[in-house]
């Protein structure tokens, strides 16, 4: 019967100095479309925050307050899931934005 190894039998590993983080990778420059927030139509449901794959929705307290454009890739998911009666997120071509 094989003897099972205990934890003392495992070779020493290395400690990773700094864990991997996506904060260093600003992906906003890939964007072809930019989401624009129409504040007066926003009902602060935070669906956009929940579905954004890049955590690029700014939240302060329990309110949506805009976008973090450094990380927004312009996928448009936030605009698609926004349930506000009058659209609260409009996608605009990056070339048409100032």
- Nearest CA to 64 out of 76, 78, 85, 77 is that of 78
**Given 17, 65, 74, 90, the residue binding ligand SF4 (CB under 6 A):** 74
Does residue 73 belong to the site contacting ligand SF4 (CB under 6 A)?
yes
Phi, psi of 93 (to 5 degrees): -55, 135
Whole-number minimum distance, CB 46 to ligand SF4, in Å? Answer: 5
Contact predicate 39/67, CB 8 Å: no
Does residue 14 belong to the site contacting ligand SF4 (CB under 6 A)?
no
Does residue 44 belong to the site contacting ligand SF4 (CB under 6 A)?
yes
Does residue 58 belong to the site contacting ligand SF4 (CB under 6 A)?
no
């Amino acid at each position: 019967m094989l003897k099972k190894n205990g934890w003392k039998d495992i070779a020493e590993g290395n400690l990773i100095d700094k864990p991997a983080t996506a904060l260093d990778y600003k992906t906003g420059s890939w964007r072809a479309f930019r989401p624009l927030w129409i504040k007066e139509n926003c009902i602060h449901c935070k669906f956009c925050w929940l579905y954004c794959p890049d955590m690029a929705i700014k939240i302060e307290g329990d309110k949506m307050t805009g976008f973090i454009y450094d990380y927004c890739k312009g996928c448009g998911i936030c605009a698609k899931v926004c349930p506000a009666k009058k659209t609260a997120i409009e996608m605009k071509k990056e070339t048409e934005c100032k």
